[in-house]
């Protein structure tokens, strides 16, 4: 498949010059090439070369993902794969920063105009403490991270960087508005949880609100809140929602301990947030979800599945993110027993399960350039392949009901 997916512009999204756009396109093309042409070679290289080499010195075949890592790290093919993967990430952010730096004043103006169109609240406290698992490293190598650096802390530019950068990182697989995870999880709720219509919804770790907005589209009567530990993220999210014509509330809050009252929501969701928290934070987040939900309310976290559902080679591929992409909790999170965490937080055991929410990307056809039937189908109809973005054409969801 030739991937020509193009992001749908909106008022606060950076607009590249033709030359910047060509650079963005190259970083996306490079990622697509790594996924479709370099990644598949890792299996044969491991089986035919790296594993026998390892066995010669270790005296046994590689048994788990740590052994596989030891076997693969010295291999030239793996080195090129991992090095180019990392470089593609660096090229991507650097290319988007060119567009943002050039348009900084215009983006700030547009953010102000469009934030004013959003009737929802925007709450940014003065004395917020950013947790260390977000501030220790710039997650997925995004310069400045979620909180910004060198003066961008008080701006919207880190949000703009995330909005454009993540689209390229995901190679457009998240749809023209970057919202496929939210849209897919939301449709899962609408289709699979029969008779459940939430009236107050909380999206934890919402970043720029890209996954949050589909909940307003699909449940227009509901009061919707997005929270994140990054002030530039919620600031940008508020303006982005305004630019897209939706009234959504955003606040800088920590999902471990929010400012909301007990039993004040009937749906609490998150999308690829848990793997960016920590071993100490995750149980607290589950407990907070339980506290916030009304009886009968649902907690749904969309992330990648835990390691015990995968073979060691798949685990090894996924764990590369831990070591090479500033994702310190990526591997350890997948070793957490999430069902047990939900149980300990108070959710009845019979209500807790993992399930797959099929990608909603089919409905996004023709919403922006490049999303034709053949290419969209090739994204949504795939077998699970570790290392691919959105592996398997669906999103894993952990569901629990209070």
Partner 1 sequence: MKRTSKGKRPEFYDSPVLDQMMSMIMVLASEVSVLADEMDTIKRAVSAKAPDIAAELAAFVPDEQALQERETRRQEMLARLFYLVRKDAEETAEQATAKGYLKTIEEIAVK
Site residues for partner 1 per CB under 8 A: 18-19, 22-23, 25-27, 29-30, 79-80, 82-84, 86-88, 90-91, 93-95, 97-98, 100-101, 132-133, 136-138, 141-145, 149-150, 152, 157-158, 161, 278-280, 283, 322-324, 326, 328-329, 331-332
d(CA 258, CA 288): 8
Query: What phi and psi, each to the nearest 5 degrees, are found at residue 256?
Result: -70, -30
Q: What CA dihedral angle connects 242, 215, 163 and 142, to 10 degrees?
A: 130
User: Whole-number minimum distance, CB 133 to partner 1, in Å?
Assistant: 5
Inter-residue contact 152 to 224 (CB < 8 Å): no
Q: In the bound complex, what is the minimum distance in angstroms from residue 229's beta carbon to partner 1? A: 14
**Minimum distance, C-beta of residue 195 to partner 1, in the bound complex (Å):** 37
* Residue with smaller CB distance to partner 1, 142 or 239: 142
Q: Which is nearer to partner 1, 283 or 358 (CB)?
A: 283
Structural contact between residues 8 and 367, judged by C-beta atoms closer than 8 angstroms: yes
Rounded CA separation 335/348 (Å) = 22
- Residue 68: CB minimum distance to partner 1, A: 17
Q: Which is nearer to partner 1, 148 or 242 (CB)?
A: 148
Concatenate the DSSP letters of all residues of 259-304 into one string: SPPTT-EEEEEEES-GGGS-TTHHHHHHHHHHHHEEEEEEEEEEEP
Nearest to partner 1 of 188, 330 (CB atom): 330
Query: Shortest gap between Cβ of 352 and partner 1 (angstroms)?
Result: 19
Smallest gap, in angstroms, from Cβ of residue 248 to partner 1? 26
| Nearest to partner 1 of 143, 394 (CB atom) | 143
Quote the CA–CA distance of 6 and 365 in Å, as a whole number.
Answer: 11
Query: Could you please report the per-residue DSSP string of 348-367?
Result: -GGG-EEEEEE--GGGGTTS
Name the residue nearer to partner 1 (CB basis): 157 or 254: 157
């Amino acid at each position: 498949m030739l991937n020509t997916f193009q992001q749908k512009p909106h008022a606060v999204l950076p607009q590249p010059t033709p030359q910047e756009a060509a650079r963005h396109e190259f970083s996306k093309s490079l990622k697509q090439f790594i996924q479709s042409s370099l990644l598949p070679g890792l299996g044969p290289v491991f089986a035919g070369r790296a594993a026998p080499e390892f066995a010669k010195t270790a005296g046994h075949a590689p048994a788990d993902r740590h052994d596989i890592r030891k076997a693969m790290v010295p291999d030239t093919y793996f080195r090129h794969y991992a090095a180019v993967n990392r470089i593609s990430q660096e090229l991507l952010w650097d290319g988007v920063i060119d567009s943002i730096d050039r348009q900084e004043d215009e983006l700030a103006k547009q953010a102000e105009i469009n934030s004013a169109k959003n009737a929802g609240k925007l709450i940014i406290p003065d004395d917020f403490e950013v947790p260390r698992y977000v501030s220790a490293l710039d997650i997925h190598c995004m310069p400045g991270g979620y909180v910004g650096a060198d003066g961008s802390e008080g701006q919207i530019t880190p949000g703009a960087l995330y909005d454009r950068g993540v689209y390229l990182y995901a190679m457009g697989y998240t749809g023209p508005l970057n919202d496929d995870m939210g849209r897919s999880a939301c449709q899962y709720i609408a289709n699979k949880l029969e008779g459940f219509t939430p009236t107050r919804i909380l999206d934890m770790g919402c970043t720029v609100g890209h996954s949050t907005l589909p909940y307003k589209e699909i449940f227009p009567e509901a009061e919707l809140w997005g929270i994140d530990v990054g002030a530039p993220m919620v600031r940008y999210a508020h303006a982005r929602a305004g630019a897209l014509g939706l009234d959504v509330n955003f606040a800088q809050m920590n999902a471990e301990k929010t400012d909301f009252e007990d039993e004040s929501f009937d749906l609490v969701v998150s999308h690829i947030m848990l793997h960016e928290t920590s071993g100490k934070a995750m149980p607290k987040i589950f407990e907070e979800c339980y506290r916030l939900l009304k009886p009968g309310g649902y907690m749904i976290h969309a992330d990648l599945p835990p390691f015990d559902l995968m073979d060691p080679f798949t685990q090894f591929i996924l764990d590369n993110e831990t070591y090479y992409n500033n994702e310190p909790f990526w591997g350890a999170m997948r070793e957490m027993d999430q069902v047990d965490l939900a149980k300990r937080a108070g959710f009845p055991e019979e209500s807790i399960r993992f399930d797959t929410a099929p990608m909603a990307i089919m409905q996004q056809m023709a919403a922006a350039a490049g999303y034709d039937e053949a290419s969209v189908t090739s994204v949504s109809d795939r077998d699970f392949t570790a290392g691919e973005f959105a592996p398997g054409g669906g999103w894993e969801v952990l569901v629990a009901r209070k």
